[in-house]
């Protein structure tokens, strides 16, 4: 859950969500990002993973691991994916 304050000092709360994916193959990009972020406990990662599940169904399994504080690098299907 995130909270923001607008110019009138009104506090709003909402869940993060993905509103779009750009690229040559948006479904593939979303699948890679969602699978990568699925194991994270960060709110933005949860939003990306949920968007992937909502749009594409089950996410593929991961191989490899992350390094705390340095982002994550994992193999999703046959693609090495890095984020951080």
Helices (H), 1-84: 26-37, 43-56
Gap between the Cα atoms of 84 and 25, Å rounded? 21
* pLDDT in the model for residue 5: 53
| Closest alpha carbon to 40 in 10, 79, 3, 84 | 84
What pLDDT was estimated at residue 82?
Answer: 83
pLDDT at residue 6 in the model: 56
Write down the pTM of the prediction.
0.74
Per-residue model confidence (pLDDT) at position 11:
58
CA distance 66 to 17: 23
The CATH number of residue 21's host domain is 3.40.1110.10
Q: How far is CA 5 from CA 13, 26, 30, 35, 73, in A?
A: 9, 32, 29, 32, 34
Whole-number pLDDT of residue 26 = 93
Residue 77 domain boundaries: 2-83
Q: What are phi and psi of 77, to 5 degrees?
A: 55, -115
Number of structural domains (the chain) is: 1
Per-residue pLDDT of the chain (84 residues; tens, 9 = 90+): 455 555 666 655 677 888 889 888 999 999 999 998 888 888 888 899 999 999 999 999 887 666 667 778 888 888 888 887
Residue whose token pair is 């490899």: 64
């Amino acid at each position: 859950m995130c909270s923001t304050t607008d110019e009138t000092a009104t506090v709003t709360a909402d869940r993060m969500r993905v509103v779009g994916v750009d690229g040559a193959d948006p479904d593939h990009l979303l699948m890679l990002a969602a699978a990568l972020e699925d194991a994270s406990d960060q709110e933005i990662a949860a939003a990306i993973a949920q968007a992937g599940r909502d749009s594409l169904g089950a996410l593929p399994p991961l191989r490899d691991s992350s390094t705390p504080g340095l982002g994550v690098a994992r193999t999703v299907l046959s693609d090495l994916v890095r984020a951080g």
